Structure 1
Amino acid sequence: MTDFAAARHNMVESQVRVNSVTDERVIDALAAVPRERFVPTARQGIAYMDEDVKIADGTPPRFLMEPRVFAKLVQLAEIGADDLVLDVGCGSGYSTAVLSRVAGTVVALECDEALAAQAGATLSDLSVDNAVVVTGALPEGYAKQAPYDVIFINGMVSSVPESLQKQLREDGRLVCVLGDGVSGRARLYVRSGDSFSGRDAFDANVRFLPGFEPVESFVF
């Protein structure tokens, strides 16, 4: 039987701390949230491996982001204790559980109704009371609760939709992995008035979220 507490400790020490994650609030959140609760029973034994873990089939399939990249993205967002965060593509809810420990409130957006129901049930079971799970198309965000201090995109994107940019408040931050599916870079964007500027932060290669894949062009 897997000792999940030991596996979680090893994940923090061997995957997170050694990869320039120094924010103790982020580290404490990762050390507290039982990642195994957010993956299918058959995959709980690999929940803490340094790789993306499949949580649902589909087009595209859905994954928990690997711990190293996830932790660095959360740190990059510099989330404050009173911040309102939109978690785009929350999947089974793991990212929301972690974000809820460093933010004031989290709105968890999911397009898959089964995953959304699972996320809501698991978060409730873990007594996460400052997060709400909503459903909808991921690239559209959730304007009803905007503007957000932080938008956390939980997977790779080929571009950042204007609809999400507009849901940031002034000086709000958006973090994501921008790429083509072969390689990618974690990026931090900041909104200033009508300007939306970004900078590369570190190399990362994670899975695409539904609705964010590159659009294939026809060649005549």
Structure 2
Amino acid sequence: MIDYAVARHNMVENQLRPNQIDDPRVLDAMGEIPRELFVPKALRGVAYSDEDLDLGQGRFLIEPLALAKLIQAASPRSEDVALVVGDVTGYAAAVLSRLVATVFLLVPPAVATEPVETLLSELGCDNVVLRQGDAMAGHPAQAPYDLILLAGSVPSIPSALIDQLAENGRLVAVVEHGRSGKVTVARKVNGAVGRLTPFDARIFRLPGFKVEAGFQF
């Protein structure tokens, strides 16, 4: 029988710490949330492997290290209001819920929200609010956001999501560059948006994202 608490500890010590994940709040959150509960029972034995997990129907669970890189690069603050896009399981939102004030989790209309809401409630993630909608359009009804996390790779960052950033807000995503990708942090300062690419990463493409015609970021 797998001791998931040990597996979670080993993930933190053997995958995250050796790869420049050193924010203690991020490490604590990743070490607390039971990743195995966010995958089908048949995949629980590999829940802590260092790869994206194929959940079927074009859905994936982002690998632990890539998620940790994204969250650490976003510099989450306890007072932040965050939007998470592309996280159909709720795992990324659950981790982020330990680090910010409120998380809006945007899932596609085809995703049943009740099982995700139930699991998040059982884990005490009461500051996560689920909404359904189009990923590229974001969730303007609750904008602006201090932090926007895209839990997968995209060919470019949609302008609609950039528009939903608050002043000094950060958007983090893996932006594709050929066969590789870059963890990209877009930050809005005085209405202008700059970006940094602190890490390399290669993860699955988020469904529904495409390059906007005539727009480059």
TM-score when normalising by structure 2 = 0.93
| 1:10 equivalent in alignment to 2:10 | yes
1:116-127 aligned within 5 A: 116-127=113-124
| 1:190 equivalent in alignment to 2:187 | yes
Structure 1: tracts of 5 or more residues without a match = none
Partner of 2:35: 35
Contact 1:92 1:118 in 2 (8 A): no
User: 1:116-159, CA deviations, whole angstroms, 9 ceiling, x for partnerless residues?
Assistant: 33321210121211111111010111011110000001100011
Structure 2: tracts of 5 or more residues without a match = none
Aligned length, in residue pairs:
213
Contact 1:156 1:177 in 2 (8 A): yes
> Counterpart amino acid of 1:129?
D
How far apart in 1 are the matches of 2:118 and 2:56? 16
How far apart in 1 are the matches of 2:63 and 2:79? 26
| 1:65 equivalent in alignment to 2:62 | yes
Secondary structure, aligned partner of 2:206:
coil
**1:112–1:56: structure 2 CA closer, same or farther, 3 Å change rule?**
farther
Moved more, 115-124 or 181-190: 115-124
Contact 2:88 2:111 in 1 (8 A): no
> Percent identity between the aligned chains?
43
> Counterpart amino acid of 2:50?
D
**Runs ≥4 in structure 1, deviation > 6 angstroms?**
none
Contact 1:106 1:131 in 2 (8 A): yes
Partner of 2:170: 173
Partner of 1:53: 53
Contact 1:96 1:106 in 2 (8 A): yes
| 1:199 equivalent in alignment to 2:196 | yes
Question: CA shift at 1:112, angstroms?
Answer: 4.7
User: 1:156-194, CA deviations, whole angstroms, 9 ceiling, x for partnerless residues?
Assistant: 001111110010001100000000572111111101233
Question: CA shift at 1:80, angstroms?
Answer: 0.2
The root-mean-square deviation of aligned C-alpha atoms, in Å, is 1.6
Question: CA shift at 1:3, angstroms?
Answer: 1.0
Contact 1:181 1:206 in 2 (8 A): no
Contact 2:39 2:55 in 1 (8 A): yes
User: 1:59-108, CA deviations, whole angstroms, 9 ceiling, x for partnerless residues?
Assistant: xx111111111101100000000100001112110001100000110000
Contact 1:157 1:178 in 2 (8 A): yes
Contact 1:55 1:92 in 2 (8 A): no
TM-score when normalising by structure 1 = 0.92
